[in-house]
Amino acid sequence: MASKKSAAKRSIVSFKDVQIAYLLDGISGVEKIVAGRKSAGAIIRKALRELKQQGRSVDALETYVGEKFGSGGRGRSMPNVGEERKYRAQQIKTGGAFLRLPLTPLGVKKGGSVRVRFESDRIVVVKA
């Protein structure tokens, strides 16, 4: 006779679960509920949108989403501090190759400035 193993149940987290966690425990509640989830950004963004429509104060959640998940547009997610990524060089018709890099992990917002040092085998970008 074969022994029965208890199958691990898949738990689904909806945007309403995220809303409740935020309203009860703030950001720490949201982090607990979405820990280890791959599509957490979309769920949290929807919760944020719905809470805004209800007229709730969501400044902390908005900041959290901006820092951890970015704008939610197309492409890869925002890199975390200490993470290493490869980028492909792009080229435009009138010029040479260039890179398009996210600067949010450095804490640089639109209009902010960075210092760039070009070396023989690398480019170093530092917040100014």
Comparing 50 with 79, which gets the higher pLDDT?
A: 50
Q: What is the pLDDT of residue 92?
A: 83
Q: What is the pLDDT of residue 107?
A: 84
Q: What is the pLDDT of residue 2?
A: 60
How far is CA 102 from each of CA 49, 70, 85, 106, 108, rounded to the nearest angstrom? 24, 10, 11, 9, 9
pTM here is 0.52
The pLDDT of residue 5 is above 70: no
Comparing 19 with 94, which gets the higher pLDDT?
A: 19
Distance CA(56)–CA(107), nearest Å, equals 27
